[in-house]
Structure 1
Amino acid sequence: MTSNFAFLKQLYNAFDPFRPLPAGDPAYVDCTDVRGDGDILEAVGKEILYSDRKTCQLYAGHRGAGKSTELLRLQKDLDENGFFVVYFAADEADIDPEDVQYTDILLACTRNILTAFKDRTDSQAVLNWLKERCEDLKDLLQTKISIDELSIEAQVSQFAKITTKIRSEPSERRKIRDLINPHTTTLTEALNEFIRDAKKIFLQDITN
């Protein structure tokens, strides 16, 4: 009985639909023929690879259908084709999927993009945005912030505090949104500038 239970438990967890498979995992099964979907590398990846303009794709499906597994395959393919991919599951650390707004997603994107590039650029774009929000953020985070001395890693920490409050403290969620909402346009502009700065260094590293 014990051995049967152990086997069934192992089998059950081997097919856990909420644990995405990393790219190249031998347990991956291509279900395209029966699921009817196009291969993500063709349907989404080719548009990203070939397009001269910025693209935006929505990849949707039922919970547990394998979206994250497919996105990890796409990440690997794009990495191998010279792209720098920032992949993150926002609902794991940054947002409450039962109560989410655009502001929450923008803050999550900011934190994760800063994290991905923290060792690759010293861009001041997002830091300058933080400086303009300094006093409000001090009250919000209930901590002293020496903005002029914030490294990118320290900036990540500040955004992590904000997204943690959004995710775990419903009472603070509205306060944060009310504070950030009027400044989402300028944060988006700052983040895009940060990405452009990081991209320049990334391309220099490739060509050198």
Structure 2
Amino acid sequence: MTLDLAKFYKACNPSKPVQKQQYYIDFSSVRGSKIIKSLKRQIAVISPDEPTCQLFTGHIGCGKSTELLRLKSDLEQEGFHVVYFESSQDLDMADVDVTDILLSIAGQVSESLEAINIRLHPGYFTNLFTEIADFLQTPIELSTEAELSLGIGKITARTKEAPKLRRRLREYLEPRTSSILQSINEELLGKANTALKRQGKAGLVVIIDNLDRVDFRPLPSGRSQQEYLFIDRGDQLRKLNCHVVYTIPLGLTFSNDCEILKDRLGGGIPPKVLPMVPVKRRNGDEHTEGMALLRQMVMVRAFPEQTPAKQLELIPEVFDTPEILDRLCSVSGGHLRNLLGLLLGCVMQDDPPFSGETLEEVIRERRDYLLSSIDDDEWELLFQ
């Protein structure tokens, strides 16, 4: 069977979460817990009619977006209207405040509802947009019947690439945060839930991805931007009148304030952490189940229409030997984006079947790239 190289290349893109079901591999059996099932259960079974706020984290590139898209699909099958969005598309991750996140959520929810002919026009925001235009002395042309998503979209577009304008807007909105939150809850989310249930939906769920990418930069207060947003202001982010799943930076789970994070933003429930896929056991032996799933993850991208057993038979179409595939999976450390990055490196180096020499060259390039960031003091720490 001939490998479609162009399709294989596209399927190996490490920057894109899995969108097609045929490429999805369920790693829950080796990751130690069924995290997505737990998130779904909290929403659909335990508290379907009361808002929930759940936190989800893990290393960047470990597969969170793929799992959240799976959660979206599962909840939609349960009858929920799910709004999933990548916050990095709306926000500057180096400079984010609570009002930015709230407005982004409001805009995304409004746009999603408009797509199913639910159009809401919160009066508070109509007045707010007029005030913002006057304050910024920047025209934002909106009719009284304009969609909420359009208004927020215009403001976001004006301020995302203009730090000074964004700071001025933030100074104006900050004392109005409570009013903005109240309007979102009463005039948008509350009415949205009512309208959705009239359509036979179970409720509204908002999944905010990529907030784990918020920069760890110090603020004048001495707190980091991450601590300020998710710990100091966590109680406000938690107060949305719908089911919410936030991705948060993994480092916050190791913070001295992790208990405050759990209580303020998580409502007493700690963040769910998505671990790597194990490739070795503590005694150094191969983790058989983890390696088998990683092999499947690679081969399904080459031959998505084939059964797992047939895919293994087709390894010689992609690699000179099965040992080369095992080397690829093992050296990735079970980090899914690293695995795809190494695989993509092989595709860019040569045509399949890939030789051991090709893979080792890609590994060396990756190694040298990582080594360049380690200074002498850090080497001393590593060898202690």
For the aligned pair, the TM-score class normalised by the smaller chain equals: 0.7 to 0.9
Once structures 1 and 2 are overlaid, which stretch shifts more, 49-58 or 82-91? 49-58
Superposed displacement of residue 146, structure 1: 5.1
Letter in 1 for 2:182: E
Structure 2 partner of 1:51: 46
CA deviation vs aligned residue, 1:37-65 (integer Å, no higher than 9, x gap) = 4241x220000112333211111111111
Q: Which residue identity does 1:55 align to in structure 2?
A: T
Alignment-derived partner of residue 66 in structure 1: 63
Change over 3 Å in CA distance of 1:136–1:167 after alignment to 2:
closer
Report if the CA contact (8 A) 1:110-1:191 is conserved. yes
1:120 aligns with 2:117: yes
Aligned to 1:202: 196
One-letter amino acid of the counterpart of residue 44, structure 2: L
State the structure with more CA Rg: 2
Q: CA deviation at 1:184?
A: 1.5
Which runs of structure 2 are paired with 1:41-190 in the superposition (5 Å)?
42-52=37-47, 53-92=50-89, 94-118=90-114, 119-125=116-122, 127-140=123-136, 142-143=138-139, 145=141, 149-152=144-147, 155-190=148-183
Q: CA deviation at 1:198?
A: 2.0
Unmatched 5+ residue regions in structure 1?
A: none
Q: Deviation of residue 204 (structure 1)?
A: 1.7
Aligned AA (1:136) = I
Q: 1:30 deviation in Å?
A: 1.6
Count of equivalent residues? 195
Q: Distance in 2 between matches of 1:51 and 1:88?
A: 24
Q: 1:11 to 1:177 in 2, by over 3 A?
A: same
Name the SS of the counterpart of 1:84 in structure 2: strand
Aligned to 1:31: 27
Greater fraction strand = 2
The alpha-carbon distance between structure 1 residues 48 and 67, as it changes in their structure 2 partners (threshold 3 A), is: same
Q: Tell me if structure 2 keeps the 8 A contact 1:138–1:144.
A: no
C-alpha distance 17-164 of structure 1, shift in aligned 2 (>3 A): same
- 1:20 paired with 2:14, answer no
* Counterpart code for 2:191: D
Q: Kindly provide the CA deviation profile for residues 85-108 of structure 1, in whole angstroms up to 9, marking residues without a partner as x.
A: 11111102x101222221211111
Deviation at 1:182, TM superposition (A): 1.2
Structure 1 pair 138–145 and aligned structure 2 pair: CA distance change class (3 A):
farther
Letter in 2 for 1:49: A
Give, in angstroms, the shift of residue 76 of structure 1.
Answer: 0.8
**Superposed displacement of residue 163, structure 1:** 1.8
Report the AA paired with residue 104 of structure 2.
A
Change (3 A) 1:28 1:122: closer
CA contact (8 A) 1:17 1:66 kept: no
SS at match of 1:87: strand
Given residue 201 of structure 1, which amino acid in structure 2 is its aligned partner? A
Report the CA distance shift for 1:141/1:88 in structure 2 as closer, same or farther (over 3 A): farther
CA RMSD of aligned residues (A): 2.5
Amino acid at match of 1:174: R
Separation in structure 2 between the aligned mates of residue 157 and residue 134 of structure 1, nearest angstrom: 14
Aligned equivalents of 1:45, 1:164: Cα separation in 2 = 33
Structure 2 stretches lacking a partner, 5+ long: 202-384
CA distance in 2, matches of 1:64, 1:136: 38
**Normalized per residue, which structure has more helix?**
1
Residues 146, 13 of structure 1: CA spacing in aligned structure 2 closer, same or farther, 3 A cutoff?
closer
